[in-house]
Structure 1
Amino acid sequence: MLQLCQVTSTLFISNASSACTSELIQREAVTLCINVTRQQPFPKCGVATMRVPLLDEPSEDLYVHFDECADAIQREAQHGGRTVVYCKNGRSRSAAICIAYLMKHHRVALADALQEVKAARHVIDPNPGFMAQLRRYEDELKRQESQ
């Protein structure tokens, strides 16, 4: 089933086939597509795009992209836009980016952010490497907050 799963009023998570369906992108008024893959395509409907070229491997360094992606999602929301984050299956890479966004800009704990994204898309399951990076990111955000 093709669908964009709504995490917040301005954030969706999806798999590549749904995110590349122009009708869905237009129906949900998506203005930014963050593609967390090396080779999956972008939708062909003239929205802003951003690529994070990683494989779904625990050894990949997604951590270095958390701030950049979270800030892009937040900027889009502040300008009245909506973002979809996707990877091939919409389970691991895209979920980790959505969780990082909730942690940074909604000040949600990792466990709560994970549940929030899982409530939107029940199949999410960030790989163990990405979960470790999210724990590190949570620690870093807490450190920044306490300074």
Structure 2
Amino acid sequence: MLQLCRVTEALFISNARSACDGELIRCEAVTLCINVSRQQPFPAASDMAALRVPVYDDPNEDLYVHFDRCADAIEEEARRGGRSVVYCKNGRSRSATVCVAYLMKHHKLSLTEALQKVKTARQVIDPNPGFMAQLERYEQELKKKDRDLN
């Protein structure tokens, strides 16, 4: 079944097949596609912003270095009234990790809360152990920045 799973008002998570379905993208008024893969295609719609995060679903891949850029792009799109879809091949590990990082940074959720929110939207999510470790590191980093500001 083709579907974009709504995480927030302005954020969807999906697999590549659904994210590349032009009808779905139009129906949900998606304006930014974040493709978290090296090989998956982008939707054909040319009027859409696109961001590729070239990583494999491998625990040794460094997805952490992309967290801020992706989270800020999603937030910026939302503030402009746009909507983002984050996807990878199966919509389980890479895309989920990016969505969780976004919720932690811009919605101030803990890692546990953010994971639960994404899992509620898309039950099959399951970030690999390496990405979970990177999210834990990111949570500590965000807490530290928060403390330094206060």
Give the match for residue 6 of structure 1.
6
Give the match for residue 88 of structure 2.
87
Pairwise mapping of residues 133-144 of structure 1 onto structure 2 (< 5 A)? 133-144=134-145
Which residue identity does 2:62 align to in structure 1? D
Per-residue deviation, residues 56-90 of structure 1 (Å, max 9, x unmatched): 00000000000000000000000000000000000
Query: 3-state DSSP class of the match of 1:38?
Result: coil
Residue 121 (structure 2) pairs with residue 120 (structure 1): yes
Question: In structure 2, what is the Cα distance between the partners aligned to 1:3 and 1:113?
Answer: 21
What is the percentage of aligned positions where both structures have the same residue?
71
Residue 106 (structure 2) pairs with residue 105 (structure 1): yes
Per-residue deviation, residues 2-33 of structure 1 (Å, max 9, x unmatched): 00000000000000000000000000000000
How many residues align structurally? 147
CA RMSD of aligned residues (A): 0.3
Large movers: runs of 4+ above 4 Å: none
Query: 3-state DSSP class of the match of 2:85?
Result: strand
Which residue identity does 2:118 align to in structure 1? V
Question: In structure 1, what is the Cα distance between the partners aligned to 2:111 and 2:95?
Answer: 15
Give the match for residue 56 of structure 1.
57
Residue 32 (structure 2) pairs with residue 27 (structure 1): no
Give the TM-score normalised by structure 1: 1.00
Give the match for residue 38 of structure 1.
38
Question: In structure 2, what is the Cα distance between the partners aligned to 1:96 and 1:131?
Answer: 8
Which residue identity does 2:86 align to in structure 1? V
Which residue identity does 1:61 align to in structure 2? D
Question: In structure 1, what is the Cα distance between the partners aligned to 2:20 and 2:49?
Answer: 13
- The gaps in structure 1 that reach 5 residues or longer are none
1:45 Cα deviation after fit: 1.0
Query: 3-state DSSP class of the match of 1:146?
Result: helix
